[in-house]
């Protein structure tokens, strides 16, 4: 019943805004991009700057759960990262007719979700770990600025040429004054969602472990119907297995993104050195 009620509330309260509508007398809705659990996203024309950007709209059906602006954390995080080209810039936060909006620069390119599942691109081990190296450099920047993303999944990572960018900071949090990360031993049961949502650097590293596995599985050809673990199914060098296990906290986890990046760089160097 609760699920049905949520669906009905979304149908009533969360309808996309009509094409051509202006928000704050500035942003004209051009097209509806999509939606997630927290909101709707539009491509809009900014009539003040005379360009195209993105406008996010929070779900009215979730209004009761908002203790503050639903875009508070995203806005704060992106403002701290404004000097870096890896992330979208925030234009402004808007409250209009009981709706919350956030305007951001548009990030052109394709998400890894589109590339892997729709374009069916296949990545070699070296290609996957080169991408991991780039992502760790980006995560280093976030963590150095005391920001943890907590949602580094394929749809939130965009590729444009040789450039990788990260979007959707809705679940991001500050690392300032957070409790120390609790290290698990290899025999403890690991629950994925709490690790992804932990306010600690390791949550982003854990997510990158899964992202790397998705890239590696893009070129995987199953030989039988029996489902096995990734370590059994994928043919990987021992050093590559160890790196992924540390990211996933199956071995002593990396303390920082810098530590992980150095091991990835060493792996890539050794893989091309005769």
Which CATH number covers residue 64?
3.30.200.20
Q: End of a domain among 56, 73, 105?
A: 105
193 known member of a binding site: no
Domain that holds residue 19: 11-105
Looking only at the bridges linking them, the beta strands covering 157-160 and 163-166 are antiparallel
| Confidence bin at 7 (pLDDT 50/70/90) | very low
| 2 falls within a domain | no
What integer is the mean pLDDT of 260-268?
98
Q: How far apart are CA 24 and CA 48, in angstroms?
A: 11
Q: End of a domain among 72, 88, 105?
A: 105
The tens digit of pLDDT for each residue in 140-199 reads: 999 999 999 999 999 999 999 999 999 999 999 999 876 655 554 444 445 566 677 899
The tens digit of pLDDT for each residue in 63-113 reads: 555 556 789 999 999 999 999 999 999 999 999 988 899 999 999 999 999
Does residue 223 sit in the same domain as residue 186? Answer: yes
pLDDT of residue 210: 96
Hey, which bits of 20-133 come out as E strands? Answer: 22-23, 27-35, 39-46, 51-58, 90-96, 99-105, 110-111
| 1 falls within a domain | no
Q: End of a domain among 63, 84, 105?
A: 105
* Number of domains within the chain: 2
The helices-and-strands tally (H runs, E runs) of the chain is 9, 11
Does residue 114 sit in the same domain as residue 56? Answer: no
Does residue 144 sit in the same domain as residue 18? Answer: no
The tens digit of pLDDT for each residue in 192-212 reads: 666 778 999 999 999 999 999
Does residue 252 sit in the same domain as residue 145? Answer: yes
Q: How far apart are CA 215 and CA 116, in angstroms?
A: 7
Does residue 252 sit in the same domain as residue 116? Answer: yes
| Confidence bin at 136 (pLDDT 50/70/90) | very high
pLDDT of residue 193: 62
Q: What is the pTM of this model?
A: 0.87
State the CATH number of the domain containing residue 134. 1.10.510.10
Does residue 120 sit in the same domain as residue 154? Answer: yes
| 5 falls within a domain | no
């Amino acid at each position: 019943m609760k699920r049905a009620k949520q669906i009905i509330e979304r149908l009533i309260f969360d309808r996309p805004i009509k094409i051509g509508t202006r928000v704050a007398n500035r942003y004209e809705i051009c097209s509806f991009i999509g939606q997630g659990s927290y909101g709707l996203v539009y491509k809009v024309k900014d009539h003040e700057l005379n360009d195209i950007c993105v406008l996010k709209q929070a779900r009215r059906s979730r209004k009761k759960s908002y203790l503050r602006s639903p875009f508070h954390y995203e806005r704060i995080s992106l403002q701290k990262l404004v000097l870096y080209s890896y992330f979208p810039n925030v234009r402004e936060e808007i409250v209009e007719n009981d709706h919350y909006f956030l305007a951001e620069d548009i990030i052109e390119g394709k998400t890894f979700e589109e590339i892997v599942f729709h374009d069916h691109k296949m990545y070699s081990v070296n290609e996957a770990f080169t991408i991991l190296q780039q992502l760790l450099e980006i995560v280093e920047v976030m963590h150095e600025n005391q920001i943890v993303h907590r949602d580094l999944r394929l749809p939130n990572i965009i590729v444009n040429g040789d450039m990788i960018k990260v979007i959707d900071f809705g679940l991001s949090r500050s690392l300032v004054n957070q409790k120390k990360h609790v290290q698990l031993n290899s025999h403890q049961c690991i629950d994925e969602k709490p690790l992804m949502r932990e306010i600690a650097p390791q949550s982003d590293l854990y997510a990158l472990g899964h992202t790397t596995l998705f890239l590696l599985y893009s070129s995987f050809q199953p030989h039988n119907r029996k489902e096995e673990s990734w370590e059994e199914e994928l043919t990987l060098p021992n050093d590559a297995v160890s790196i992924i296990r540390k990211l996933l906290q199956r071995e002593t986890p990396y303390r920082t993104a810098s530590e992980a990046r150095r091991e990835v760089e060493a792996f890539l160097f050794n893989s091309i050195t005769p």
